[in-house]
Amino acid sequence: MVKKLFIVGLILLIPGIWTLFQALSIGPASWALDQSLFWGTPIVNFVFWIGLAHAGTFLSAILLILEVRFQKRISLVAELSTIAAILVASIFPLIHLGIVSRFYFLIPFFNERNIFANFSSPLIWDFVAIFVYLCISIFYIVTHLLSLKHASLLKTGKVLAWILFPLVLWVHTIVSLDFAVTTNNLWQGAYFPIYFILGALFSGLALVVFLLEVQKRRVRKIEELLIAASWLLFVFWIWEFFQKGVWHFEVVFFGFVIVQLLWIPVLRNQKTIRLFVSFAALVSMWLERYVLIVPSDLEWLPVDYGWFALGIGLFLSVFFGLYLLIQKYNPIVFYVSAEESNEKYSKKVLWGILAGAVVFALLYFALNYPLDTSVPLMNWIPVLFPLFSLFAGLSFFALGVYSVVPKKQFFLVSGLLVLILGGAFGAFYAGGDTNLGVESKIISVERVSKNNRPVKDLWASRCASCHGLKGEGNRKFIYEFYPEIQDLTLERLNSQGEDSLTQVVLKGRAFMNPFEGRVSESEARALIRYMYQLAEEKE
Amino acid sequence: MLISKRTFIKSFGALLGGLLLFGCRKQGEKSLSRVRPVSIPDIKKQIKEAMKNQKPLDSLVAIPVPSSLKAFPNATNRFGMAIDLDLCDGCGECVLACNLENNIPLVNEYQASKNNYMHWIELRDQIPVTCFHCGDAPCEKVCPTGAAVHSPDGVSAMVYARCAGTRFCGVNCPIKIRKFNYVDALDEGLQFISNPEVPVREQGVIEKCSLCLHRIQNARLKAKTIGKEFLGENVTTACAEACPKGAILFGNWLDPNSLLYKKARGRGVYTLSSIAPFDPSVVYFKGVR
Amino acid sequence: MKKGVFFLLFVFMLALIFADIFFSPSLASNTKKTSIPFLHALHGDSIGLSCEACHSGAYTNREAFMPSKSDCMDCHRLPLTESEGIASLDSALKNASEHPFQTKNRLPAHVVFHHGVHAKANVSCEECHSNELAWDRGTPPLLLMNECLACHQGKRGFEASATDCASCHR
């Protein structure tokens, strides 16, 4: 079954990769959008998949903290589904971008040009939170796998679970804020974070029911949780109806009515019914996000359908690929868990790392805050906890792994990772080349302008190189190569007359060059008058 | 079998990944020579089509005359416009002038069939609607990269080179006046470059009315070179210049000598109801106060 | 077998990198070669000329402008030195077109830089155009935005100036 699903995933990836290719080469025009609807199916899929990821964390980390018994039986499946779902989810916002290669503009990190991401935007909070969430989830599952051999890592796993618990609520709250902070009336409401978290939990439970079924296992508690979640969501749907007049029958039908089938023991004990209910719940949750994000009816393009192939194909192949990989090296891992261990971190280490994390998070603000004082301090808070988690999670993980893995291997791998990450950050810090866009224009030669240029400037640029700024003559040049120029006196100017001097400027005389075409006639006259002025000043 | 199944899958995956990487790498510099000529009648035709299917308009509500911005209380300039609805008859000349001034691309047939034109000024119920340059702009708040920013002069500006195309600004604009470049207009021969002063926008960025920012910049730089303080003299927007009825006024809301400021005296000042909470700089004049 | 796959992958990646280098547009070679050799050092302070003498807009205009042939001929009508190269210079000037120096503006279209405003603020030309040898060769160095910002933020001894995007970008 597992292998079959892996193959199905790979097969689905073929249209999936085609979709990806289409979307990247054509851009956002390849899926259904218009000039008033800017967010389409990729965002729907993003919210859907990130919701599935959260449920995995809930079922592994949160139940571990709460010391729920059935947690042990499903934890690894849930953790794997988290990793696979985050990977799928993080693809969609990237594709969604108009210019994908500029995704790094969203990293709130020092930048050579001193431009900083806008902390008023929930997308920045999103980026940080999801990045940290992915990191900690990977730490968590690696710790879990290592703890099967080294029981001392169980304490690290527990600490990471404590970090993940608030983080997962934090992440989905931020995802809901992407909508709740906008001016769109349908997306506003203080209940949005809870509504979103519940939706995530609901769809995630449904996914875990399916994944357990694949292993030919069943956890009754989860089915009960599914029913409970459907009732809670139903309350929200009624609330939305009274608040905003929003009612979507298909969402309620799939997400509430069908789930109630699980009340009946005869039906509940049938595998097909359980699978049907879990699919119905997933469909309803997808539809719920769709009707929320895409209120108007748009004609779907092939790429819109292709997201399903991409999402499901990638999820199945990553999930079952990892599953097979783990099973190959450690076949019993999915059925047993490590021995209980009551080991705990010494208080010194615990508080040391947590204090370090606080300092790290605050230092980040201290370094970055003055760059943009127009953003209120409140807007920085959403990334506070993710930053704290990143530091704390990384420290605990490194500490735990360091204690069980050969030193040489540890330093080799961590050194390599630091190099790669450092290189990536260096590249983001430097930014891309300046895009010259349309062929740059040729710097032109100055032409006679329609308006009269300021005469002082004109004298400085056109006459001063020989005649000097004050008409005294440029000694360094003239006296070496050209015959000495006449002294500038009013008497001499008067003897020539304004008209004939203007002609001299335009037509040239002896060593004087013609300036016709470079100086207009009225400008030439103005220059002569300026000479009178200079002569007066001299006397 | 020459190659094991595992090896085949591995190399196939690597090849796919590599091809993807290669396909998505930065495209070469676009050259002007590839541009198919777009003529002014083409532009006029699309404007006419857009005027045939006008979007509905929100109701108008009265607001006070714009005063200094909350974000820049000490600024001496707040540029803005007023559209006199008593004079405007919805002829669409401003749209054409704007298109030519700002090198606004045409759209292809598919987008045209969906009524997705790039025009920065739209006629909705015969009333010109453009970006209102809100003082408290919702679009700027949600732009993650800071591409949509307010200048101290009161212009809600777009920095195209900074735009990553998340389109959050478009989502958060109450009147959906921001336009996304769905296609590469240069590549598809939809670009008419009539004004070298305005950069051509690339595919994947949002654009909208800039209040003819280039004109403001040029005038300010000129004024500063001769050492004068710039209060918006000798500048006007392309639409204001082109309006045959003189219904569009450009000016500085904070300068008592500005024509806009003087004309606002005694006039009823209105804006769209959905824009009213955001302190717009572009307003409608209608009747007397 | 495994090694072979990795080797193929490596070669493939290398090919990609090379392809990227070959096909991406180069930022250099923006300047058309002229037949007239020019040395900024000979035309500057040593003979008492300001930049404005040839780049007539440098202190007042947005663009600094390049000199036309007649601008050169203002002085070069007479043989100016006795050095050996002067004969070839004279013939090169004689055969040159009316606009012998054509430099492409390397400023992207979405940036506006006004030479006049900066001159007015007492920023000397050398602040940005210091490497005159590179300019003589026709390969001017690329100025990046962070260098603009360093000055505008008041880090280079000048008064801090506008740093809002819309004052330089359009």
Contact C8/B151, CB-based, under 8 Å? Answer: no
- Which residue of A17, A35, A292 to mutate against B (max B Cβ within 10 Å)? A35
Contact C75/A481, CB-based, under 8 Å? Answer: yes
Contact B24/A97, CB-based, under 8 Å? Answer: no
Q: Give the lowest-confidence range in A65-74, A210-219, B201-210.
A: A65-74
Contact B146/C167, CB-based, under 8 Å? Answer: no
Contact C116/B161, CB-based, under 8 Å? Answer: no
B148's CB contacts (< 8 A; 6+ apart) are B137, B139, B140, B156, B157, B158, B159, B163, B169, B206
* % of chain B at pLDDT higher than 70: 87
**Which B residues in the span 115-134 are in contact with A, Cβ-Cβ below 8 Å?**
115-117
| Confidence category of residue B1, pLDDT binned at 50, 70, 90 | very low
- Check residue A369 and give its pLDDT: 64
Whether the CB-CB separation of A524 and A455 falls below 8 Å is answered with: no
- Check residue A113 and give its pLDDT: 67
Structure tokens at A29: 């025009």
Q: What are C's interface residues with B at a Cβ cutoff of 8 A?
A: 1-2, 5, 8-9, 12-13, 16, 19-20, 23-25, 60, 62, 108-110, 112, 114, 116-117, 120, 164-167, 169-170
Structure tokens at C81: 């030195």
Chain B residues within an 8 Å CB radius of A36: 176
- The two beta strands, B127-129 and B122-124, are antiparallel
What average pLDDT does range B10-32 have in this prediction?
Answer: 54
Above 50 in pLDDT, residue C26?
no
Q: Is C33 on the interface with A (CB under 8 A)?
A: no
Q: State the count of interchain CB pairs (< 8 A) between B and C.
A: 87
pTM metric for this prediction: 0.85
B165's CB contacts (< 8 A; 6+ apart) are A28, A97, A98, A99, A102, B180, B204, B205, B206
| Confidence category of residue B25, pLDDT binned at 50, 70, 90 | very low
Above 90 in pLDDT, residue A106?
no
Whether the CB-CB separation of B286 and B85 falls below 8 Å is answered with: yes
pLDDT averaged over every residue in chain A = 84
CA distance A107 to chain B (A): 9
CA distance C35 to chain A (A): 18
CA distance C48 to chain A (A): 6
- Check residue C107 and give its pLDDT: 79
| Confidence category of residue B26, pLDDT binned at 50, 70, 90 | very low
Q: What is the end-to-end Cα distance of chain A in Å, rounded?
A: 106
What average pLDDT does range A370-387 have in this prediction?
Answer: 76
Q: Which residue has the higher pLDDT, B26 or C164?
A: C164
C-alpha C52/C-alpha A113 separation (Å) is 31
- Which residue of A378, A438, A458 to mutate against B (max B Cβ within 10 Å)? A438
Query: Could you tell me the CA-to-CA distances from B288 to B87, B260, B265, B268 in Å, in that order?
Result: 13, 15, 9, 5
**Which B residues in the span 57-86 are in contact with A, Cβ-Cβ below 8 Å?**
71
Above 80 in pLDDT, residue A68?
no
What average pLDDT does range C57-62 have in this prediction?
Answer: 86
Shortest CB distance from A38 goes to which of B24, B170, B205?
B170
- Check residue C82 and give its pLDDT: 66
Q: Give the lowest-confidence range in A497-501, B96-100, B244-248, C91-95.
A: C91-95
DSSP alpha helix (H) spans, A181-301: 192-214, 220-244, 249-252, 265-268, 271-293
Above 70 in pLDDT, residue B178?
yes
Above 70 in pLDDT, residue A443?
no
- Check residue B4 and give its pLDDT: 62
C-alpha A477/C-alpha C48 separation (Å) is 6
Q: Is B28 on the interface with C (CB under 8 A)?
A: yes
Q: What is the pLDDT of residues A381-424, one digit of tens each?
A: 888 888 888 989 998 888 888 888 888 888 998 899 888 888 88
What's at A510, amino acid-wise? A
C-alpha C75/C-alpha C38 separation (Å) is 14
**Which B residues in the span 245-264 are in contact with A, Cβ-Cβ below 8 Å?**
none
Chain B residues within an 8 Å CB radius of C9: 11, 14, 18
* % of chain A at pLDDT higher than 70: 91
pLDDT averaged over every residue in chain C = 78
CA distance B28 to chain C (A): 5
Contact A445/C146, CB-based, under 8 Å? Answer: no
Chain C CA closest to residue B207: C170
What average pLDDT does range A101-119 have in this prediction?
Answer: 78
C-alpha A463/C-alpha A484 separation (Å) is 15
Q: Is C106 on the interface with A (CB under 8 A)?
A: yes
Q: Which residue has the higher pLDDT, C95 or A431?
A: C95
**A357-363 contact pairs (CB < 8 A, 24+):** A357/A387, A357/A388, A357/A389, A357/A391, A357/A392, A357/A395, A358/A388, A360/A387, A360/A388, A360/A391, A361/A385, A361/A387, A361/A388, A361/A391
Whether the CB-CB separation of A169 and A386 falls below 8 Å is answered with: no
Chain B residues within an 8 Å CB radius of A184: 171-172
Chain B residues within an 8 Å CB radius of A97: 164-166, 204
DSSP C5-68: HHHHHHHHHHHHHHHHHHHSPPSS--BPP-SS---HHHHSGGGT--GGGTSTTTTTSSS--B--
Chain A residues within an 8 Å CB radius of B280: none
A12: helix, strand or coil? helix
C-alpha C14/C-alpha C19 separation (Å) is 8
Chain A residues within an 8 Å CB radius of C107: 440
Chain B residues within an 8 Å CB radius of C169: 157, 159-161
Q: Is C71 on the interface with A (CB under 8 A)?
A: yes
What average pLDDT does range A245-273 have in this prediction?
Answer: 87
Q: Is B145 on the interface with C (CB under 8 A)?
A: no
CA distance B177 to chain C (A): 19
Contact A123/B138, CB-based, under 8 Å? Answer: no
CA distance B29 to chain A (A): 7
B267: helix, strand or coil? strand
- The two beta strands, B179-180 and B206-207, are antiparallel
- Check residue A189 and give its pLDDT: 82
Above 90 in pLDDT, residue A448?
no
What's at A81, amino acid-wise? S
Structure tokens at A329: 């090296």
Of B118, B84, B124, nearest to B102 (Cα)?
B118
DSSP B122-148: EEETTEEE-----TT-HHHHH-SSS-E
- Check residue A496 and give its pLDDT: 84
Q: What is the pLDDT of residues B71-126, one digit of tens each?
A: 888 889 999 999 999 999 989 899 999 999 999 999 988 888 888 899 999 999 99
Q: Is C74 on the interface with A (CB under 8 A)?
A: yes
- Check residue A235 and give its pLDDT: 92
Contact B145/A106, CB-based, under 8 Å? Answer: yes
Contact B116/A437, CB-based, under 8 Å? Answer: no
ipTM here: 0.85
What average pLDDT does range C106-114 have in this prediction?
Answer: 84
Structure tokens at A477: 């040049």
- Check residue A64 and give its pLDDT: 79
Q: What is the pLDDT of residues C134-170, one digit of tens each?
A: 777 766 777 778 788 888 888 888 888 888 888 998 8
Q: Among A264-278, A328-342, C63-77, which range has the highest average pLDDT?
A: A264-278
CA dihedral B181, B184, B188, B194 (to 10 degrees): 70
Contact A123/B144, CB-based, under 8 Å? Answer: yes
CA distance B263 to chain A (A): 30
